Chain A
Amino acid sequence: MNSKIKSNSNLTYKICTKCVMDTSDPDISFDDKGVCIHCSNFENNQKNNWFRGEEGETRTANLVEEIKKEGVGKEYDCIIGLSGGVDSAYLAYWGWQYGLRMLAVHVDAGWNTEMAVKNIENICKKLKIDLITEVIDWDDMRAIQKAFFKSKVVNQDIPQDHAFFAALYKYSTKNNIRYVLNGYNISSESALPLAWRGNNAMDVVHLKAIYKKYGDKKISSYPFLQVWKMRLFYRIFHNLKIVSPLNLMDYNKNVALETLKKEVDFIDYGGKHHESVLTRFQQSYFLPTVYGYEKRRAHLASLIMSGQMAREEALKELEKPLYSSEVEKNNDIEYFIKKIGLSRSEFNQIMSTPPDSHDNFPNQDRFNEKLDSISAFFRKIIR
C-alpha cells in the first residue's frame, strides 16, 4: 500500500531532500533547498532540548537525586506507564539502573498482544517493579471505540489515551506520587505533524460529543475525566512533575532494543507501536486507507534527523508494504470487525463514507491550549 499519490490537494507531490517527510502532511512547507519544516524545527528547537553527552549525564544525576528526595517516606519514587513497547520498557530499565522505586501502570483496553503482555511480565519480574493494571470495561470500551471508528476522526487513540490519563490521575493521587517518567523522546518522535495528531485525548467534552453522535449505548463505567476533575487534574499536573529521561541521553532505539533483549528477554515487535492489535490496525490499515498517510514516515524521518538512519535506508523501508502479507492484513481486519462488533458490510459501509472532522465537535477551549501542551507530551507515557 503506497500512499504517495494520495497527497493533499493544494500541493503537488513533494518529499523533503533531507528526511522523508512529504506532502502527505498537509501543513508541510519546504525551504528553497527543499528541506522541510520538520527538519528545520528539529535543528532549531527540538535538538536544544535533547541533552547528549556530559550535559545529559549531569542532568540525569540531578534528576535522579530529585526524584529520590521526593520519594523519601513514600512507597514509590515515581510512576511509569508500561505498554510493552520499547520506549517505556527502556525507561523502566533506566529507572532500575538508578535504583528508582517505580510503580508501573498498564492500561488494558482489550487489544493487548501476547508480545506486549510478555514484555510487561518480563520487565516487572526481572527488574522487580510493582505493577497495576487498569482494565477498562470491555462493553464500554467497545462502544466508544466503535463510535470513533464510525466517525473516522484522525485521532482514533482518544478512547484508549483518555482512559490512560484517568488511570494515571487515579494512581498518582492514590499513592501520593509526584514524579511521572515519560517515554517521550526526541530521538524517534520529533517529526509527527500536527495534522496527524487530531484533538487531544484529555478533552472529555470533545470525546463525549463524538460519542453522542456516533455511540449507541449508555456508558456505565468508562473512566471519563469529569470537568471538575479536569480542573483538579490540571492543578495536579502542576504538582506532578512529568520528566522525559530519554531526552537526557543519546537514546538510540536499536541499542535500547539490544540491551532489553539481553537484560530482560524483551521481544521485538518488528515495527513501531504494535503492542496493540488496534494500533497496528489503525497505523497499517485505517490511517493510510482513510487519510493517505503512514505514521511510520514520521518515525523514520525522526530517526534520520537524529542520525540513526540514512535517508536511503528509510526510503527503502517505506517501499515495504505495511503488512507483510494480505493474509496478515485480512486477519487484523477480521479481528477488528469481530471484536468491535460489526458485520463485514457495516465495516465496508463505514470505510466508504467520508471521515468526520475533529473541528465539527466542541472542545474545552478554556483548557485546550494548556492541555495541548501537556497532552502532546503526555501521549508518550503509554506509547
Chain B
Amino acid sequence: MQIRRVIPVLLIHKGLLYKSKNFKTPKYVGDPTNAVKIFNEKEVDEIAIIDIDATMSGREPNYQQIREIAGEAFMPLAYGGGISKIDQIKKVIDQGVEKVILSHYALTNPEIVSQTVKQIGSSSTVVCLDFKKKFFGGYEIYTKNGTNPTGKNLIDMAKRYEELGAGELIINSIDRDGMMDGYDLAAIKTVTSAVSVPVIALGGAGTVNDLLNAFECGATGAAAGSMFVFHGKHKAVLITYPEQSELSFI
C-alpha cells in the first residue's frame, strides 16, 4: 500500500498568499515565507506552492521567491506556475524544490513532461489538471486559472501523462475550489481507476472526513488550500493541519 499524504496547497498572487473560490475572488491570507515556516513546524507531509500569476502574465517562475520559501521548508516542496521551458526545470529545482508541477504548458506541449522526467526523474514530475464537470457528463480540462477551456478530456489526458512518465497527477476541481464541502469524489474514482500513477485530489476539502473520502476513492494524496488556512464561521485566517491522531485511523 502506498503512503497516504495530506498536502497543503498555497497560491501565490502578487507575490503574496491568496486563496480563491472557484478560481475567482482571491482573498489575501498572508505572507508565503511565514506560512511555510509554520507548516514546516507542523511537520506536514509535503507542501505545494503555485504561482497563479506567472502563466497568466507569461513570465518565468520567480526564482528568488522560490528560494526564500524553500529555505523554510524541510518537508518535500512542490512548485508550479509559469514553467514553460525545459531549462527552467533545473533552475526551479536548484532553488531547493523537490518536485515541479506542470500545467498549462503540459497541455500546449505535452513533450515537456517526458523531457522533465528525463531531466529530474519521474517522481519529481507532477502534472496538475484543473477541470470542470461537463453538463452532460465527463470532465473538461481548463487552463489559465480556469479561464481557458481546452476541449480536452480529463481521463484521456491523465492516461496520456502517465504514458509520458509523470510521477503523479494532481486533479483539481474548479467547481469545488474554495467551497470546503467535499471533493468531487466521482472524478477521483474515475481517474484513479483509469491510471495507476498516484493521483492527488484537490478542490473542495473542508474536513478531515473529506480527506479520508479522497483516500477511500483511491487518491494517494489529499491536497487542500482553504481547509488549512481558514478557521470557523468567520473564515478567520489560521494555519492548521490535522493531528496524526486524527489521520491515524486511515
Contacts and interface: CB of A to CB of B under 8 A. Distances in A.
Interface string B17-52: 000000000001111011001100110000000000
A135 B18 CA distance: 11
Interface residues of B, number: 23
Given A117-B239, A338-B68, A110 B234 contact: no
A80 interface: no
A120 interface: yes
A124 B28 contact: no
A138 B30 contact: yes
Interface string B236-250: 111110000000000
B33 A338 contact: yes
A109 to B, nearest CB: 9
Nearest to B16: A138
B30 A131 contact: no
Nearest to B72: A335
Q: Which of A111, A133, A139 has the most CB of B within 10 A?
A: A133
Contacts of B151: none
A130 B34 contact: no
A108 interface: yes
B71 interface: yes
A112 B229 CA distance: 13
Given A121-B238, A130-B233, A131-B232, A110 B30 contact: yes
Given A110-B34, A112-B38, A117-B38, A131 B234 contact: yes
Given A106-B238, A112-B38, A130-B232, A137 B33 contact: no
Contacts of B31: 110, 138, 142, 339
B15 interface: yes
Nearest to A121: B240
Given A108-B237, A117-B240, A133-B236, A139 B15 contact: yes
B71 A338 contact: yes
Given A135-B29, A138-B31, A114 B38 contact: yes
A113 interface: yes
A117 B33 contact: no
Contacts of B42: 114, 118
B231 interface: yes
B64 to A, nearest CB: 11
A195 interface: no
A134 to B, nearest CB: 9
A340 to B, nearest CB: 11
A200 B239 CA distance: 30
A121 B71 CA distance: 26
Nearest to B29: A135
B138 to A, nearest CB: 39
A139 B15 CA distance: 9
Nearest to B230: A133
Contacts of B28: 135, 137
Which of B29, B71, B233, B239 has the most chain A CB within a 10 Å cutoff? B239
B34 A106 contact: no
A304 B103 CA distance: 62
B55 to A, nearest CB: 22
A130 B15 CA distance: 30
Interface in A90-130: 106, 108, 110-114, 117-118, 120-121, 124, 130
Given A121-B231, A135-B28, A135-B29, A112 B236 contact: no
Interface in A303-323: none
Contacts of B236: 106, 131-133
Contacts of A138: 16, 30-31
A133 B33 contact: no
Task: Select the residue from B34, B41, B239 with max chain A CB neighbours within 10 A.
Answer: B34
Nearest to B240: A121
Interface string A317-348: 00000000000000000010011000000000
Interface in B45-83: 68, 71
A102 to B, nearest CB: 13
6 contacts: A114-B41, A121-B231, A131-B234, A135-B30, A137-B28, A339-B31
Q: Please provide the 5 A-B residue pairs with the shortest distance between their CB atoms, ordered closest to farther.
A: A114-B41, A138-B31, A131-B236, A133-B236, A133-B237
Interface of A: 106, 108, 110-114, 117-118, 120-121, 124, 130-133, 135, 137-139, 142, 277, 335, 338-339
Given A124-B238, A135-B29, A138-B16, 12 more contacts: A106-B236, A110-B31, A111-B34, A112-B34, A112-B38, A113-B41, A114-B38, A131-B234, A131-B238, A137-B16, A138-B31, A335-B37
